[in-house]
Structure 1
Amino acid sequence: MKKPIKILIVLILTMSASLFVLSIGARISGIYINTTPSLPVGFYKVVDEPIVNGAYVAFCPPQIEVFDMAKDRSYINQGNCPGGYGLLLKRVFAQSGDRVLIAQAGIYVNGEHLPNSAQLTADAEDQPLPQYRLQTVLDDSEYLLLSDVNPQSFDARYFGLIARDQIKQVVRPVFTWSH
């Protein structure tokens, strides 16, 4: 092997190891690195704040069929949550007492249509997406979590409500940038 190729391989391995160590250090210090288009890309810090509308949260998906499909299709990462799912970051759009309607045309909270919330019938690979339907008033343990920045996000429009005990932390953006 030629010397420049060896140097390049060592450089790539060193950078990969450094990024791995950096990501572990960030997680230990309460920092999440979001690289998905569901929320602004960047760094989010765990904060001791209540779960309110507009807050960003990290949650473990419940062990149900729709999340198995999402993991199999790589909509969500593998991770340390039950079922082998990775933590997801989403924004809270409804909580206790809010009226929620999830339909093909989108999600409505207290009669107001949420932007970028229409359901798609198929993903980018032309695989069918779940067509979740719901009309309810949320109780004390239910939250509506989704992305308002990505009309193709895998969120409440496909899996419904998330229980309070699935939410692990409230996170706040520290440094983000556009996609």
Structure 2
Amino acid sequence: MPILKIARMGHPVLLREAEPVDDPTHPEIRRLIADMVETMQDASGIGLAAPQVHVPLRLFVWRGTAGVSALVNPELEPVGEEVESAWEGCLSIPGLRGCVTRLKRIRFRGLDAEGNPVEGEAEGMTARVMQHETDHLDGVMYPMRMPDLSLFGFTEELARAAGSAGR
């Protein structure tokens, strides 16, 4: 399976709404999911949306506590109003991080890689990853969610600043 090229911030595919997947069991979609998983693992990511590999379809893969999963045509909704802020990175914005506020708990539904309906609730890091990847399907990148760009910077500089703050 090939490693796919990851679109970087500024590419138009990342700024448009992705199209629904008609048949998740189609061989091309199965191949895409397998290639996305391999690409995500090769890039040491924890999530990857199809638009990030230049395919404007509504699906993403992520690595969770149960291993690697795919969610096709995802729908997310809040569970409560509690939010939390945390640092995020993105394979389409290499070397940078930003502090983003997201819902702490969500409910999700969609289809798995075999076309079976899946639904459930997620919280913490899993909820954050699902929201981040679903944003990609809607043409939204995490810096667009940041009201305070002083909390956006190069990973190395942020780590250096955090290290010197602890002294």
**Normalization by structure 2: what TM-score?**
0.26
Ranked by relative contact order (alpha carbons within 8 Å, sequence separation 6 or more), the top structure is: 1
User: Is the radius of gyration larger for structure 1 or structure 2?
Assistant: 1
**Normalization by structure 1: what TM-score?**
0.25
